[in-house]
Structures are given as structure tokens and as C-alpha cells.
A and B are shown apart, each in its own frame.
Chain A
Amino acid sequence: MRLGALQVIDAFVRLGGTGEAAQGLGVSQSAVIKSLHMAEKELDLSLVAIVQGRLTPTPEALELSRLARPAFGALRRAHHEADMIRVGMADRLRIATVPGLAHSILPPAIASARRDLSDRAAVEVMFDHVRDHLSANEVDLAISYGPMATEGLRDIVLRSSPLVCVLDEAHPLAAHDTLSREVLEGQRLISYGPDGISLADSFQDALGRIGLSDQIAITVRHTDSACHLAREGVGIAVVDGFVISSSLTQGLAVRSLDESPLVTAFAHHRDGAPLDHAARILLEHLVGAGA
């Protein structure tokens, strides 16, 4: 099994045709077709079928392309490690987080940890697929809204906060000290959408328990986007209260939400192997700030 042939199959499947694959790979269409036929022989699989006059990937080709994704990912990560060596970041603190927490509780903790480490620690922050990154040993520490409850991974409660509403100061509801679910009815609400990956998500859980899940009109990935949209007067952002500690809400009105359930931030690391020095210091700051 050759990597080159697998890359051709993957392009053929992703782009939907031999012409498109050729364009994507920067080779001729005949080279793509030849490579696919050679791969069929080598792997003893049917990869190409003619459907309504067009060369189309077979279910086997689709499956192979799906199965090859982790191998392609591993190769990309190896190249990434080499890139990190080249820029002097081989020895770095690697953190995976969800966008909602990346711009609130994480930056001050990183700043404090770096101060403790005399500004020596290089840091790499990755977003999303937090559990996968951690399980694959691609990160040292992870932060998310939910316990992972996964064997081999330890969950640490960092801190909890109620949901808050962030709105333009000129918004009529900014005159209220607190906002209730009833007052928010009919308002255009902005918040995070479910990521579809996390097994547990205290943020989505809080939204659901206060009855706002179905009322979110605009979903965003990042707290910044939610705050910018609120600043533009597009609507009211419903986010976790951790955001108050950041500068994202500057010039905006932040109002507490009556009877809001708590959102909990968790840190996670692999069980068994000891945390390295920089990760341990960062974790202390994350836990300490919430204490």
C-alpha cells in the first residue's frame, strides 16, 4: 500500500471525480485514472465504477478514504512536530480547549504560568476535539465544559459560573439589573451551539435547563463573535460568566440571568503519566483562580 496511491484515492473521493482530483493534486487526469487502477490491482479492491457515464468512487473507495483519515492525521502531526522543532518550540506546553473557554479563563492562567516559568514556556493552544487530542497524547492539558468520564483521563473541576447576558449598553434591556428567561422571550439570542462531540457539556446543559436551547437564533463558536454581535446590536449574547474576567465585554452591558444553572469548567489530563512541570503550574493557576 503506497501513500501516494492513497492520497489519489482520497482526493478522488473528497472531490468527487477524476478530473477534480487531478486538479486538486496538480497532476493530469490520466495519471489519476492510472493510479486508481494500479491501486485497485495492488489492494485487490474495486475503487472506481462508471455511473451514468462518469467515473465514480465505489463504496470501497469511500470506506478506504474514511479509514485512511487517522493515518493522514498522524502524518500531519509528525510534520507539525518537525515544524515545532524548526521554530524552537519542541519543548512546549500543549493545551486543547473549546473556543468558549479559550478567551476567558485560559489567557490569564497562561500569563501567570509563564510569569512563574520566567517567560520560558512556549505554549501551543489547539481548539476542539479535546478528548481526541488528549487521548492521542497530542496535548498535555485540556479544558472543556464537561467531564469526559473516559477511562485513562482525569477530570478536575476548575470553577463554576451562572450564565450571563451580554448586550449593547444602548439596548433597552440594559436598563434592567438582571434579566429573566421571560424577559428574553422574543429577543434575538446569540450563544454557542452544541459541538456534537462532547459527551457532557455543562454549558449546553445550563441553556437547556433554563429553557433557552430552542431560542438561540444565532450560534457562534467563539465568545469574541458573540460579544461582537452584541456590540453591533444584532442581539443579546448568552454566555458563561467566565467571560466577565476577560476584556471581551468592555463597553458592553453584562447582566446576570435569573435562576441560571451553573456552567462548570473542567481541566483534563491523562491519568497515570505525571504532568510535566509547565502543565502542572498552569493547572495550579487554573484551579487557584477559581478557588
Chain B
Amino acid sequence: MKALTPTHATVLRAVGRCGTTVEAARQLHLTQSAVSKIIARSESALGVPVFDRRDGRLILRSEARGLMSALGHVEDEWRALRGAVGDVRSGRALPLRIASTPSIGQGLIAQAIRRLVTDYPQARIELIMGDAPTELSKGAADLGVMFSPRVTDDIALTPFAHASIIALVREDDPLARCRQVSLPELRNHRLICFDREKSPLGWLIARAHEQAGIDYAPFMTVPYSISAAHLLARQGDVILIDSLLTQAQRFEGLVRLDVTPELPITICLMTVRSRPLTRLAARFVEILVRDRQPG
């Protein structure tokens, strides 16, 4: 015996409403013989007769009233499911969750999202500013994008873009006349920068200081480049940050200096090896990584 299907429910409900297979067939755009066959199959699947045949009409049996109401729920739920499948397809049901830093989020990710929403205009996207490896590991993010992060074995890293460390000074600072600056030239300036333990960029900048024989001693540490840029406007002499921030955002009154020798940084995409991506996330990865040549 075959199981009852949502199509059976629709046909039984239509026959219940119309009272004849001819009218039900007309409403459902089926042939009358198809409707008759479906009634027979449905009654066989359910194991009970649903209609009495009287004078060429099909009359709902009194004991089948509860069944007909249950079939109404089948129709409603099936219709709701079809609508929900559309939401899954469009990216509305499963948001794309990206963990990143503000400077990457405002630059590379914003550009990629602009392209993604042309393919998926109804997609829902959550940009999470936080520690990407942690957000990924706890399942709060689908993708992470960070500068050379330290990650666990379950997280796959894909380098896809390069940037470098730059210095920002106020335009009234004598250094602002230079186009480039070396770390030894910053020796006597008050530095706002990243913590060497908490930030991969902080670790990189601290190592470059050590290699240049200088103490790495920022007077203020910040989690993000953007925080450093906002603080520089009020206090401090110089900040060392990633070059992506100034590509994405202008800061009035601040001047960018290249750091020599160059301190290159790599931007990596992070995915969880054991967790498949949604189609929306996979398309975002394509836009972000595959459509972009490193460098």
C-alpha cells in the first residue's frame, strides 16, 4: 500500500468541496479519470472509504469529517513548505554569517557582498566583528576573513589577498611631509597599535620592531585599525595599521605613510573543514577568492 501524498490531499479536498470528479478535475486542471484514480489510490492508502457515491455525486462520509480537516492541514503545511523552499533558495532563510575585522569588512568584504547581492538580491547577511576563529569554532559564523590568523586544525585557511602595514600621522605632524617612514624613524613617537599577544598584526609589527632592534612599546593598544585611526585624531603621534582601512575609508586630517622596508600581510579566508557551506556562502567564497588574483 502506498502512502498518502500531498497531491492526494489536494484532490480529496477538492472533491469534498465540489462534490463531483468533473468539477474537481476542472478546478485542478486534471482529467476526470486522473481525479478518479487519485481518489481510489488515496482511499487505498488510507485504508478507508472517504466518500459515498450517490446519484453521480461523491458525498463526504460523516465519519471522514475529521480526516478531511486533517487533509486541510496537509495542504496548508505543504504550501508553506513550498514557500519556505523558495526562502532557502534565495538565501533569505539561511543568512550568510561572516566574521571579520572592520577594515576587511569595509573593504574587501563590502565589495564582494555588492557582487553577491546582484546574484542573490534577497540574501540575508550578518557581518560579525569579532575573533573570527572563535566565531567559526562555536558555529556562530560560516566564514571568517582575517589577517594571518592562528587557527585550529579544523579550520582551513585560504590566503587570497595581500596588503601591508602602513603608518598614519596627523597632517600637522612633521612626518606628514614624508611619503615613507621606517620603524627606527618612529622610535621617539608615541605609538597606538595592536597588542602583540592578541592580534596577528600586533605580533607581526612587534617582530619587525625586534628585528630592527627597537622595543615594541605602544602607549595604547587597540583591537582594530579603525579604533587606532579614530584615537589618532585626538591623541598619539602615529599609528601602525593595515593598508586596507585607508583603501576603504578616508580619514580627514590624517596622512598615510608607507613603512619601509615593507611589512606585507596576508588576508586569509577561513572555513570549517567539517562543515559544508551553503550555496550562498560558496558563491561568496568564489567571488572573494577565486575571482581575485592574490596581490
Chain A residues near B (Cβ < 8 Å): 1, 3, 43-46, 49, 51-52, 56-60, 63-64, 67-68, 70-71, 73-75, 77-86, 90-91, 136-137
Contacts and interface: CB of A to CB of B under 8 A. Distances in A.
A86 B61 CA distance: 13
A45 B279 contact: yes
A91 B63 CA distance: 7
B212 interface: no
B278 A78 contact: no
Contacts of B57: none
Contacts of B9: 75, 78
Interface in B129-178: 142
Contacts of B142: 59
- Residue in A44, A70, A78, A90 whose Cβ sees the most chain B Cβ within 10 Å: A78
B273 A86 contact: no
A3 to B, nearest CB: 5
Contacts of A80: 70
Contacts of B78: 71, 74
A263 B89 CA distance: 48
B68 to A, nearest CB: 9
B220 interface: no
Contacts of B74: 71, 74-75, 78
Interface string B1-20: 00111100100000000000
Chain A facing B: main interface SS: helix
B270 to A, nearest CB: 16
Contacts of A70: 77, 80-81
Q: Is the interface of B mostly helix, strand, loop or mixed?
A: helix
B85 A82 contact: no
A60 B73 contact: no
B6 A71 contact: yes
A60 B65 CA distance: 37
Contacts of A79: 3-4, 46
27 contacts: A3-B3, A43-B85, A45-B88, A46-B278, A51-B274, A51-B276, A59-B276, A59-B277, A59-B278, A63-B93, A67-B81, A70-B77, A71-B77, A71-B78, A74-B70, A74-B78, A78-B46, A78-B71, A78-B73, A78-B74, A81-B66, A85-B64, A85-B66, A86-B48, A90-B63, A136-B73, A137-B69
A60 B4 contact: no
Nearest to B12: A78
B47 interface: yes
Nearest to A75: B74
Nearest to B78: A71
Contacts of A84: 66
B64 to A, nearest CB: 6
Nearest to A94: B66
B214 interface: no
Interface string B264-277: 00000000011111
B84 interface: yes
B71 A56 contact: no
Interface in B57-100: 63-67, 69-71, 73-74, 76-78, 80-82, 84-85, 88-89, 93-94
Contact of B276 (A43, A56, A82): A56
Interface in B235-252: none
A289 B127 CA distance: 58
Contact of A67 (B4, B66, B76, B85): B85
Contact of A60 (B70, B71, B82, B94): B94
Contacts of B279: 45-46, 58, 60
A238 B274 CA distance: 45
Nearest to B73: A74
Interface in B25-74: 46-48, 63-67, 69-71, 73-74
B67 A81 contact: yes
A67 B48 CA distance: 29
A90 B66 contact: yes
A81 B45 CA distance: 12
B110 interface: no
B231 interface: no
A75 B10 CA distance: 12
A58 B277 contact: yes
B185 to A, nearest CB: 50
Given A45-B88, A82-B47, A91-B63, A77 B73 contact: yes
Contacts of A75: 3-4, 6, 9, 74
A1 B81 CA distance: 10
B191 to A, nearest CB: 43
